[in-house]
A and B are shown apart, each in its own frame.
Chain A
């Protein structure tokens, strides 16, 4: 085993669990878990990153209720450091430290509820 092998996780491994699985279990269709697609990046290694996709006509407004930044950007999102990417029209992805999965999912779903 190499130095960093114990830090690599394979989403296709049967032991792999998404940190957002429970938090988004009853989420609307426009809020999706994309943690399996996480890559090593400015927030650290993929194993430590959760990803959440928001798609809705009001997706940009929803983001504006949680961040001052204009995606794509890296910075504060709902008071935590996150990476925001544009995935398409009215479709954005938020990448963030997996330990905040429940918290951030709650913040996004709460903002969704305020707009939907």
Chain B
């Protein structure tokens, strides 16, 4: 039932809409909130409390308390008093078994509550340990704030938007409006954010972060405001009083009465008792005011089935269905405290007020303490049946706080953590002052000495979807990526890249490379151009091997080490001309190698220029015994072994495109890497496959590449090495030139060379033919002494092969290793030479 039209009501009686609550249709007016429409339909119980499942009704009607949290269209914890009613919305109760009016959990918890004191989960249910999963399941079911469907996908769109303003005013009340007008008069660009729409943006500032970042939750968009100045005009919040039965349905704060009557034309009750000053709206709504008490009187409320029946004032019972309590107003200082303001207790007014505002942060209106006062705590009569709640969100009673203090948790921060007071959805708006006062009374300290708990964002509940924003995951794809998909490749992640795992049959792809010719997209390789008069000296200092003696047009393999001589990356280095070098890196190491080179160049101040060509160039590796025949169809370059030998680099046109050709052989066969501008990559790929069709040219993916390189015992940095691996132990001592001048990591490599490494990276062949797990253990005398880094089945070798780190004394050809698989040991034999073409004849053919 609605009251006659009110002077400033927010509902539009000419527009009706319908939504459902627990499947039942609810009539509403445009301008209603979900809570006001439900109230108009006769609902008084809106939620069940967090722990005890006590019935809870409207209390503040301003989005500050937890009493009206409902699930709306699948989103839990929606503040129904702030949520506009919309047509066809589906509203449901949360945290109940049964219904709001009859919640089975409330009966169970009532029986069990003597065994559930504050912090019970720290000391009960922890033994026997095997039973904890059952306890945990029960607790998660019994307590909480709604239910999330863990299998749900995104059902709503959330966006994040960056905004700027000269002045951001948080709060559109009198203080905020005045501050905004002043700033505008100075010609500043001002944005006023207000939760009730009394400004430029209807939304909630959820915090003030470093650098003046203010996220504002505005429906389904999170605005990230940065402003030259921030004016906090968040106002002051009405405070509840702590007395027995203070959570009964029918107990309201004055603001709730003002909104129920003034905004939504709803009559909150029939017979009212008022503690403090009676809101004029009571009379306006025709509510009979039975008694007006003062905050210093002893008050207790009694109820039945959770609903208010009478109020006992100084021992005298007064029957009523409505109790309005005015506990004064506390400045909403949380945002200012987050920004760095100090907060001090004003004993004369009984409130905490913000002081010492940081630069660029201002306060306006009631948040400064102006017009605020909070009367002292009401002493509760003893022996009552009803609980006195300090914190409604977390169901923390005065008894809980006293017990925590008695157990030694006597600072407000410890009380907060032990009892969870102030940690619920209200974030201390309704319970911080009460808990501090109770702590003061129990400890004998004053409120100023106790202080406040740390204010942290979010200051208001915010949907996780808003914080997550849009699902952007930066992903790299090569210029040829779509060709791989069209060819039916299975795509896999390698770092930030999406690359072909294989094109359906990895074994056939390996065979094609061994017997005919294959092509793989290696555009992901890092590519650097290092040039300048000092380029050769720079590389000499950076790498453990020699480069100054490398002739233009030749290539050398290099392993990049860090200061401690540990392997960072590897790749090939081609000398294009006297002062120009082309350096390739691993795909995932491209960025870090660029940074590494740039950093050392800055340190050494050499005359060297380092440019990244990684994205500018596509790269294809054409490999296999017929690769020369294939390329000869696309280029005029003399590809004969005499003219273009293994580890030669040449620039030439291939398929009428400018290319750099590197004759190298990561996959162990005659092969050429072709590097060309990325925009030509797809065309080059097409031409190679066309030209090689009759030669059986086949694209191959990463999986066959891994088999092929393992057959040659070529390492994969990051797979076969870790942060402790060095080039000597990894089986590449020939690469470390200790006789040359200083280079990065030299000191460490000298020591390793002198003392001998403890581990060696070796190959192994399984005797039983089964492929062990990568990461599996190498065992000697029952002890784990090493680990497997790579393992695959090789058709070319006819065996399961792999690489492993083993103690140096085991790094001898044909030594037996035991490899653990589950609880059994399987036998393997050490191999120090490549499994396939150990002399490298095929590479050089």
Are these two chains actual partners, yes or no?
A: yes
Interface residues of A (CB under 8 A from B): 1, 3-9, 11, 13-19, 22, 35, 44-49, 61, 64-65, 67-68, 70, 78-80, 97-103, 107, 110-111, 114
Name which residue of chain A comes closest to B687, CB basis.
Answer: A15
Name which residue of chain A comes closest to B656, CB basis.
Answer: A15
A74–chain B nearest beta-carbon distance, Å: 15
What are the residues of chain A within 8 A of B477 when measuring CB–CB?
99, 101-103
A71–chain B nearest beta-carbon distance, Å: 12
What are the residues of chain A within 8 A of B677 when measuring CB–CB?
6-9, 47
Size of B's binding interface in residues, CB under 8 A: 52
Docked pose: A80 CA to B475 CA in angstroms: 10
Task: Tell whether, in the assembled complex, residue B576 and residue A19 are in contact, meaning their CB atoms are under 8 Å apart.
Answer: no
Name which residue of chain B comes closest to A1, CB basis.
Answer: B651
Residue-by-residue, is B595-617 near A (CB-CB < 8 Å gives 1, otherwise 0)? Answer: 00000000000000001111111
Please judge, given known A-B contacts A22-B482, A45-B616, A102-B477, whether A68 and B678 are in contact too, CB under 8 Å: no
Task: Tell whether, in the assembled complex, residue A44 and residue B162 are in contact, meaning their CB atoms are under 8 Å apart.
Answer: no
| A107 partner, pick from B472, B576, B613, beta carbons under 8 A | B472
Inter-chain pairs besides A17-B680, A68-B224, 14 sampled, C-beta below 8 Å: A7-B616, A15-B680, A15-B684, A19-B678, A35-B679, A44-B616, A45-B611, A47-B616, A61-B161, A64-B161, A98-B479, A100-B475, A103-B475, A103-B476
Docked pose: A61 CA to B474 CA in angstroms: 21
Task: Tell whether, in the assembled complex, residue B478 and residue A48 are in contact, meaning their CB atoms are under 8 Å apart.
Answer: no
Task: Tell whether, in the assembled complex, residue A67 and residue B613 are in contact, meaning their CB atoms are under 8 Å apart.
Answer: no
Task: Tell whether, in the assembled complex, residue A47 and residue B617 are in contact, meaning their CB atoms are under 8 Å apart.
Answer: yes
| A45 partner, pick from B162, B226, B613, beta carbons under 8 A | B613
Task: Tell whether, in the assembled complex, residue B659 and residue A64 are in contact, meaning their CB atoms are under 8 Å apart.
Answer: no
Task: Tell whether, in the assembled complex, residue B652 and residue A1 are in contact, meaning their CB atoms are under 8 Å apart.
Answer: yes
Task: Tell whether, in the assembled complex, residue B474 and residue A79 are in contact, meaning their CB atoms are under 8 Å apart.
Answer: yes
Docked pose: A93 CA to B678 CA in angstroms: 21
Name which residue of chain A comes closest to B651, CB basis.
Answer: A1
Task: Tell whether, in the assembled complex, residue A19 and residue B679 are in contact, meaning their CB atoms are under 8 Å apart.
Answer: yes
B841 within 8 A of A: no
Task: Tell whether, in the assembled complex, residue B679 and residue A9 are in contact, meaning their CB atoms are under 8 Å apart.
Answer: yes
A65–chain B nearest beta-carbon distance, Å: 5
Task: Tell whether, in the assembled complex, residue B164 and residue A8 are in contact, meaning their CB atoms are under 8 Å apart.
Answer: no
What are the residues of chain B within 8 A of A18 when measuring CB–CB?
679
Docked pose: A107 CA to B580 CA in angstroms: 38
Interface residues of B (CB under 8 A from A): 157, 159-164, 224, 226, 470, 472-479, 481-482, 497, 529, 531, 576-577, 580, 611-617, 651-653, 655-660, 675-684
Docked pose: A16 CA to B479 CA in angstroms: 11
Please judge, given known A-B contacts A47-B677, A99-B476, whether A6 and B162 are in contact too, CB under 8 Å: no
A44–chain B nearest beta-carbon distance, Å: 6
What are the residues of chain A within 8 A of B612 when measuring CB–CB?
44
Task: Tell whether, in the assembled complex, residue A102 and residue B616 are in contact, meaning their CB atoms are under 8 Å apart.
Answer: no
Most chain B beta-carbon contacts within 10 A, residue among A7, A16, A35, A79: A7
What are the residues of chain A within 8 A of B476 when measuring CB–CB?
97, 99-100, 103
Docked pose: A66 CA to B653 CA in angstroms: 41
Name which residue of chain B comes closest to A45, CB basis.
Answer: B616
- The 3 A-B pairs with the shortest beta carbon distances in the complex, nearest first, are A48-B616, A48-B615, A9-B677
Task: Tell whether, in the assembled complex, residue B617 and residue A7 are in contact, meaning their CB atoms are under 8 Å apart.
Answer: yes
What are the residues of chain B within 8 A of A110 when measuring CB–CB?
470
Task: Tell whether, in the assembled complex, residue B162 and residue A67 are in contact, meaning their CB atoms are under 8 Å apart.
Answer: yes
What are the residues of chain A within 8 A of B479 when measuring CB–CB?
17, 19, 98-99
What are the residues of chain B within 8 A of A7 when measuring CB–CB?
529, 613, 616-617, 677
Docked pose: A18 CA to B482 CA in angstroms: 12
What are the residues of chain A within 8 A of B580 when measuring CB–CB?
3
Name which residue of chain A comes closest to B497, CB basis.
Answer: A99
Task: Tell whether, in the assembled complex, residue B678 and residue A98 are in contact, meaning their CB atoms are under 8 Å apart.
Answer: yes
What are the residues of chain B within 8 A of A47 when measuring CB–CB?
616-617, 677-679
Name which residue of chain B comes closest to A80, CB basis.
Answer: B474
Name which residue of chain B comes closest to A61, CB basis.
Answer: B161
What are the residues of chain A within 8 A of B658 when measuring CB–CB?
1, 5-6, 8
Docked pose: A78 CA to B683 CA in angstroms: 29
A38–chain B nearest beta-carbon distance, Å: 9
A–B Cβ pairs within 8 angstroms, 17 of them: A1-B651, A1-B652, A3-B531, A6-B660, A9-B677, A15-B680, A15-B683, A15-B684, A18-B679, A47-B677, A47-B679, A64-B162, A65-B159, A67-B162, A78-B472, A102-B477, A111-B470
Task: Tell whether, in the assembled complex, residue B611 and residue A100 are in contact, meaning their CB atoms are under 8 Å apart.
Answer: no
What are the residues of chain B within 8 A of A70 when measuring CB–CB?
164
Docked pose: A46 CA to B611 CA in angstroms: 13
